[in-house]
Chains A and B, each alone.
Chain A
Amino acid sequence: MGCRSYQHLAAAQTRLGPQAPNPIFVVNKRVSKGPGLWRVWAAPTRYRPPLMPQSNCSQKNCSKKADLTSSLMRECIGELLAGIRCARCNRPILNLRYHGIRGPSLLTGLLFGIAILWLLGAVGLTATRQPGGGLAGWAVYAGSLAVCAFLAVAAVSFLLEENAGTPTLILPFGLPMLAAHFRLDDLAAYFLLIVDAVGGLAALYGLGYGRHDGDAVRVLPFFPVFLAGMNLVLLADDAYTFMLSWEFMSVASWLLVLSSHQKQESRRAAHIYLLMAAFGTAALIAAFGVMGGVDGGFTFAAMRAHPLSPTLATLVLGFLLVGAGSKAGVVPLHAWLPLAHPAAPSHVSALMSGVMTKVAIYAIIRVVFDLAGHIEWWWGLVVLALGAATALLGVLYAIMQEDMKTLLAYSTVENIGIIVIGLGLAIAFQAEGAKMLAGLALLAALFHAFNHALYKSLLFFGAGAVLTATGQRNLDRLGGLIHRMPHTALAFLIGCAAISALPPLNGFASEWLILQAVLSGPQLSQWSLQLAIPVVGALLVLATALASVCFVRAFGIAFLGRARSPDAAGAHEVAVSMRSAMAVIAAACVILGALPMTVLSLARPVVQSLVGVAPLPVTPLPWLWLVPDINRASSYSGLILLVGFLVTAGVVQFVRRIVSGRVRRSAPWGCGFPDTGPTAQYTASSFAQPIRRVFGTTVFHATEVVIMPEPGDTSPASFTVVMHDLVWERLYRPVGLGLAWCTVRISALQNASIREYLALMFGALVVLLIAIVVVPR
């Protein structure tokens, strides 16, 4: 089949001639004269299949891949995608490029996929009350999995394409006189890959998860719609479509948080989330309003064409950091995140934490590096400071949590901080004209975004598996799960190691790249940046080291030791689909750690399109080495570390052959005292105690009250820790009180008499008339 369609295209190619110019598709905009609102209509009018090796299907040159071997990218992934070949003529058949799905048709295909996600949402409405939602539940998740797989493969094929252009499409939807603009470029494609890779795995996980959780039925209509919203945000090419998709994403995720609405804390979380989302949206609208300017150029193309003045650009950055920053969880706007993310079912938590925060990062990158058109060097300082504060506070909060999913949500805050540090470095370098370094920092941030999406969803899947098996989220009610759930434990362990940035896993590779960018900080000319960047680097390393404390604690308390509750003692391994979703991500964490160039080669064109240069110089064996800067001669190879470690470990295993290999079992050492039972183990809070002693008094204003009765006194001893969340107390509460105060004052107006209303209107009219006269034209 593949062979025949290939020959068909080859025939078309021969007719058009191989020397035809290379921008392969042409989009013609024509304005129809017809009545109605749908005025603007564009369609691909001329479409030509892609250029192919000239001597196509003549059998002797069949395996020639003239355009495949040309670049670094191809060496890394192109081969993989092109790997499945037609048995008869040895042509690649899995590669979308060879079937001519590209350009506007690719964009149309993506939008069709998103439309199918909407339809799946409608299917989800027919779900029955039985566990898992019956057939509808299966259809929603299987359908989402298929669509996400298609979207992810399409995104990869687009990124691998050289000279792929930026297909645009204008659809007659939206406000009167306006159309919906869509555009696919490298940046959008990269984030599409993040969204849909994780989205597909979440759907796979959902297939098994829904069978155990009664609330999960209520997720069905909104799960695909949420995915569709996130995808649309990435494809939107005008402010209106962007904000509409953004709001769909927000509202869908809000409904997902509400799926367990019987719980008081879920309702509270959803309420706070809704408030913060509305606040963030307002800020984003303001940002787009400033960029659109007085002329109201609301398409991104118009914004790109009109660079902003420094003042206006700074204003945009401020609004953006509030709007997109609150969605991403940048301190101090993170407060909703650890409430809302854990309240949803676990696969949705994974999507919110792993993916939706990345969509917010996408918005920041899109506006700062693409639309605003102006970058000030001191923005770098602001963004770096925000990132460092976010990373450090996020992880410190995470260490103090006893709820597994809340811990993971706070850890998301930390990782967003790390990504924001990468962005801050990119901004600083870009403003100073050090494009290569800006590219390196941006590349590192993009890579970390990908990695975090992977391992954070893995960890949320693991937490969901634990929740399914035990019904518990509290670490102090768990323990010993490694014996009962060995597969989940192994996957969760890999996730913990990856998020703790342990080499040779993927988390370390991206952090290493960010640190290399940090180490290039002295090349900047601003002394404040020169001094700030190393300090930010130290804070980044501290945050990473504390993350490993956090995840030793999470894994150690939940999976190791002895069961702390009957629920944990009676746990069983979870469904195959859930385990396979976790296994896929765990394998990806190892592979991307060993071969980081796989993802980096996809991120490289993104950086090239945004910054202008492609970072990571081409070295011999590019898939093996990570060399950030050819002049600095620093290098890292995850694969060599992994293989070297495995070989060494193999050698060490021989010890067992040579020396005594016997094992005896006995009771653990208890200083001669009888076994005190599982309650004598270290708990989650006792494990966090050293960190609380070091940081608690300054960051949390922690106070410890120890009541120790005198010897002979039979009253119970007690130990109480009081910790304060300063962000809530110092920022949110005053704002909330102020708002309430204003509301009460304004509500007086709502009950005024008719005379007062008339007086108000008259007053307003007078003021407006004066304004018209006074304000010069």
Chain B
Amino acid sequence: MTMMAVLAQGIQMVLVLALAPGLTGLVRLVKARLVGRRGPGLIQPYRDLMRLFRKDAVLADNASWLFRNTPYLVFAVVWFAATLVPTFTTLLPLGPSADFIAVVAFLGSARFFTALAGMDIGTSFGGIGASREMMIGSLAEPAVLMVIFTISLLVHSTSLTQIAEYIVVSAVGIRVSLVMALISLIIVAIAENGRIPVDNPSTHLELTMVHEAMVLEYSGRHLALIEAAAMVRLQLFMSLIICVFAPYGMAMKNDTPGTLLVGIGLYGAKLFCGAVALGLFETSIAKMRVFRVGEFLGSALLLSILAMIYLYISRAL
């Protein structure tokens, strides 16, 4: 158990880091192809990160220690959170240290410090980004809790490992409540990652951006870390959705190295599907006004509450 588990944990730690830029590149590639462009290749995000790492960091005159240290902190938080979510195996020794709630809250720490860093320089862009990012984040959290509540009603646990094993072993099948919870979680994931109807990561006009406005002052290795953190976060949310709603093929306890390899392969395939779906979704929808986001996230909350009520009713039947 121990040797395999530590190995799996190590693989997971490296895997999330290695795959994350590729995933972002894949989403960009799909979007480019859908609008009829050739688009940059899959490895362009890796090249971008390397380019940024090689550059000098330019700091504003009045940047404080908080501003300088936030990129390291944010990246470490997101990376560590990503290692806690089962991706190809549930055999993670660090898994029990944080359940679904704690992983989401841990990502909240990253948001907290990014927003503070946005306010450190004292420009309007940082402030506007920070205040809007915090609003979006705070409106998303109740929906996450209701999704967790729905799942915990079924699984009787909030531990991600337990959830994945329960879904695979007990063959819950397709349930209306789970579909609603899935949609709700996808909406939350879109909002938390600043994807298109909520925010546009590739725009160049500061005032329409949320996340990018907040990190406008970063450059060089700091910006590389912030960007890498955003890529890992996108992958983390996809892993979270995969882990809760499609953990099939994941290696379980007492499995051989062979099943681990199968798990990794399947995980890659699931990520591929997720990236294609995200690209499709983003090209087919327009960005909404900032203050429509509340309604968008409100619908997520409503869906998750409905999911819970459906589950109550189906339990009572």
Contact between A560 and B66, CB atoms less than 8 A apart: yes
Determine how close the nearest CB of chain A comes to the CB of B37; give it in whole angstroms: 28
- What CA separation (Å) do A503 and B145 show in the bound complex? 16
- Mark each residue of chain B from 105 to 142: 1 if its CB lies under 8 Å from any CB of chain A, else 0: 11011011001100111111111101110110111111
Q: Would A686 and B127 be within 8 Å (CB), given that A644-B80, A652-B225, A667-B60 are in contact? A: yes
- What CA separation (Å) do A542 and B206 show in the bound complex? 28
Q: Which residues of B contact A664 (CB under 8 A)?
A: 56-59
- What CA separation (Å) do A500 and B56 show in the bound complex? 34
Q: Which residues of A contact B94 (CB under 8 A)?
A: 640, 644
Q: Would A552 and B96 be within 8 Å (CB), given that A515-B101, A662-B56, A694-B139 are in contact? A: no
**19 more A-B residue pairs beyond the given contacts A552-B119, A663-B56, A694-B139, with a C-beta to C-beta distance below 8 A:** A512-B102, A519-B149, A541-B144, A541-B145, A544-B141, A556-B119, A633-B159, A636-B97, A641-B102, A652-B79, A655-B53, A659-B54, A660-B220, A663-B68, A670-B123, A681-B122, A682-B127, A682-B128, A682-B130
7 nearest interchain CB pairs? A682-B127, A561-B122, A545-B138, A556-B119, A640-B97, A649-B76, A690-B135
Contact between B135 and A659, CB atoms less than 8 A apart: no
Q: Would A545 and B96 be within 8 Å (CB), given that A652-B75, A664-B57, A668-B217 are in contact? A: no
Most buried by A among B59, B75, B98, B162: B98
Q: Which residues of A contact B83 (CB under 8 A)?
A: 644
- Mark each residue of chain B from 28 to 48: 1 if its CB lies under 8 Å from any CB of chain A, else 0: 000000000000000000000
Most buried by A among B76, B83, B305: B76
Contact between A678 and B122, CB atoms less than 8 A apart: yes
Contact between A503 and B141, CB atoms less than 8 A apart: no
Determine how close the nearest CB of chain A comes to the CB of B54; give it in whole angstroms: 6
* Contact with B145, one of A508, A538, A549, A693 (Cβ below 8 angstroms): A538
Q: What would 11 A/B residue contacts be, using CB atoms closer than 8 Å?
A: A535-B305, A541-B144, A541-B145, A553-B131, A631-B156, A632-B156, A659-B221, A660-B55, A663-B58, A681-B123, A690-B290
Q: Which residues of B contact A649 (CB under 8 A)?
A: 72-73, 76
- What CA separation (Å) do A645 and B290 show in the bound complex? 33
The answer to whether the Cβ of A653 comes within 8 Å of any Cβ in the partner chain is yes
Contact between B97 and A635, CB atoms less than 8 A apart: yes
Q: Which residues of A contact B119 (CB under 8 A)?
A: 552, 556-557, 560-561, 682
Determine how close the nearest CB of chain B comes to the CB of A674; give it in whole angstroms: 13
Determine how close the nearest CB of chain A comes to the CB of B6; give it in whole angstroms: 14
Residues of chain A in range 549-565 having any CB-CB distance to chain B below 8 Å: 549, 552-553, 555-557, 560-562
Q: Which residues of A contact B61 (CB under 8 A)?
A: 665-668
Contact between A655 and B225, CB atoms less than 8 A apart: yes
Q: Which residues of B contact A653 (CB under 8 A)?
A: 72
- What CA separation (Å) do A649 and B225 show in the bound complex? 12
- What CA separation (Å) do A189 and B114 show in the bound complex? 41
* Contact with A662, one of B57, B106, B125, B157 (Cβ below 8 angstroms): B57
The answer to whether the Cβ of B158 comes within 8 Å of any Cβ in the partner chain is yes
Contact between A562 and B97, CB atoms less than 8 A apart: no
The answer to whether the Cβ of B286 comes within 8 Å of any Cβ in the partner chain is no
Nearest A residue to B13 via CB reads: A648
Q: Would A480 and B115 be within 8 Å (CB), given that A534-B308, A552-B134, A636-B99 are in contact? A: no
* Contact with A660, one of B53, B109, B153 (Cβ below 8 angstroms): B53
* Contact with A482, one of B56, B64, B111 (Cβ below 8 angstroms): B64
Residues of chain B in range 78-104 having any CB-CB distance to chain A below 8 Å: 79-80, 83, 94, 96-99, 101-102
- What CA separation (Å) do A623 and B312 show in the bound complex? 36
Contact between A480 and B122, CB atoms less than 8 A apart: yes
Residues of chain A in range 159-213 having any CB-CB distance to chain B below 8 Å: none
Determine how close the nearest CB of chain A comes to the CB of B278; give it in whole angstroms: 25
The answer to whether the Cβ of A101 comes within 8 Å of any Cβ in the partner chain is no
Interface of B is mostly: helix
Most buried by A among B55, B57, B59, B97: B97
Contact between B62 and A562, CB atoms less than 8 A apart: yes
Determine how close the nearest CB of chain A comes to the CB of B198; give it in whole angstroms: 13
Determine how close the nearest CB of chain B comes to the CB of A626; give it in whole angstroms: 10
Determine how close the nearest CB of chain A comes to the CB of B46; give it in whole angstroms: 14
- What CA separation (Å) do A562 and B123 show in the bound complex? 9
- Mark each residue of chain B from 273 to 290: 1 if its CB lies under 8 Å from any CB of chain A, else 0: 000000000000000001
Contact between A552 and B112, CB atoms less than 8 A apart: yes
- What CA separation (Å) do A659 and B53 show in the bound complex? 6
Q: Which residues of B contact A480 (CB under 8 A)?
A: 62, 122
Contact between A665 and B60, CB atoms less than 8 A apart: yes
Residues of chain A in range 662-694 having any CB-CB distance to chain B below 8 Å: 662-671, 678, 680-682, 686-691, 693-694
Interface of A is mostly: helix
Determine how close the nearest CB of chain B comes to the CB of A172; give it in whole angstroms: 54
* Contact with B106, one of A483, A493, A503 (Cβ below 8 angstroms): A503
The answer to whether the Cβ of A745 comes within 8 Å of any Cβ in the partner chain is no
Q: Which residues of B contact A519 (CB under 8 A)?
A: 148-149, 152, 158
Residues of chain B in range 245-303 having any CB-CB distance to chain A below 8 Å: 290-291, 294, 301
Nearest B residue to A542 via CB reads: B142
Instruction: Please give the residue numbers on chain B whose beta carbons come within 8 Å of chain A beta carbons, in ascending order.
Output: 53-62, 64-66, 68, 72-73, 75-77, 79-80, 83, 94, 96-99, 101-102, 105-106, 108-109, 111-112, 115-116, 119-128, 130-132, 134-135, 137-142, 144-146, 148-149, 152-153, 156-159, 162, 206, 216-217, 220-221, 224-225, 290-291, 294, 301, 305, 308-309, 312
Contact between A546 and B149, CB atoms less than 8 A apart: no
- What CA separation (Å) do A500 and B153 show in the bound complex? 27
Determine how close the nearest CB of chain B comes to the CB of A396; give it in whole angstroms: 11
Determine how close the nearest CB of chain A comes to the CB of B20; give it in whole angstroms: 14
The answer to whether the Cβ of A522 comes within 8 Å of any Cβ in the partner chain is yes
- What CA separation (Å) do A648 and B72 show in the bound complex? 9
The answer to whether the Cβ of A474 comes within 8 Å of any Cβ in the partner chain is no
Contact between A686 and B146, CB atoms less than 8 A apart: no
Contact between A548 and B66, CB atoms less than 8 A apart: no
Contact between A632 and B157, CB atoms less than 8 A apart: yes
The answer to whether the Cβ of A90 comes within 8 Å of any Cβ in the partner chain is no
* Contact with B76, one of A497, A502, A645, A670 (Cβ below 8 angstroms): A645
- Mark each residue of chain A from 593 to 604: 1 if its CB lies under 8 Å from any CB of chain B, else 0: 000000000000
Q: Which residues of A contact B75 (CB under 8 A)?
A: 652
- What CA separation (Å) do A178 and B88 show in the bound complex? 72
Contact between B158 and A549, CB atoms less than 8 A apart: no
Contact between A634 and B55, CB atoms less than 8 A apart: no
Determine how close the nearest CB of chain A comes to the CB of B162; give it in whole angstroms: 5
Q: Which residues of B contact A537 (CB under 8 A)?
A: 145-146, 149
Residues of chain A in range 495-523 having any CB-CB distance to chain B below 8 Å: 497, 500-503, 508, 512, 515-516, 518-519, 522
Q: Which residues of A contact B99 (CB under 8 A)?
A: 634-636
Determine how close the nearest CB of chain B comes to the CB of A478; give it in whole angstroms: 12
Most buried by A among B66, B225, B309: B66
Q: Which residues of A contact B159 (CB under 8 A)?
A: 633-635
Q: Which residues of B contact A502 (CB under 8 A)?
A: 105, 108-109, 112
Contact between B115 and A556, CB atoms less than 8 A apart: yes
- What CA separation (Å) do A644 and B94 show in the bound complex? 9
Contact between B73 and A656, CB atoms less than 8 A apart: no
Contact between A541 and B142, CB atoms less than 8 A apart: yes
Q: Would A539 and B122 be within 8 Å (CB), given that A549-B134, A636-B99 are in contact? A: no
The answer to whether the Cβ of A577 comes within 8 Å of any Cβ in the partner chain is no
Q: Which residues of A contact B76 (CB under 8 A)?
A: 645, 648-649, 651-652
- What CA separation (Å) do A11 and B143 show in the bound complex? 65
Q: Which residues of B contact A549 (CB under 8 A)?
A: 131, 134-135, 138
The answer to whether the Cβ of A625 comes within 8 Å of any Cβ in the partner chain is yes
Q: Which residues of B contact A625 (CB under 8 A)?
A: 96
- What CA separation (Å) do A687 and B132 show in the bound complex? 8
Nearest A residue to B53 via CB reads: A659
* Contact with B137, one of A545, A652, A667 (Cβ below 8 angstroms): A545
Nearest B residue to A508 via CB reads: B105
Contact between A545 and B142, CB atoms less than 8 A apart: yes
- What CA separation (Å) do A678 and B62 show in the bound complex? 12
Contact between A479 and B122, CB atoms less than 8 A apart: yes
Q: Would A644 and B97 be within 8 Å (CB), given that A503-B102, A656-B221, A682-B124 are in contact? A: yes
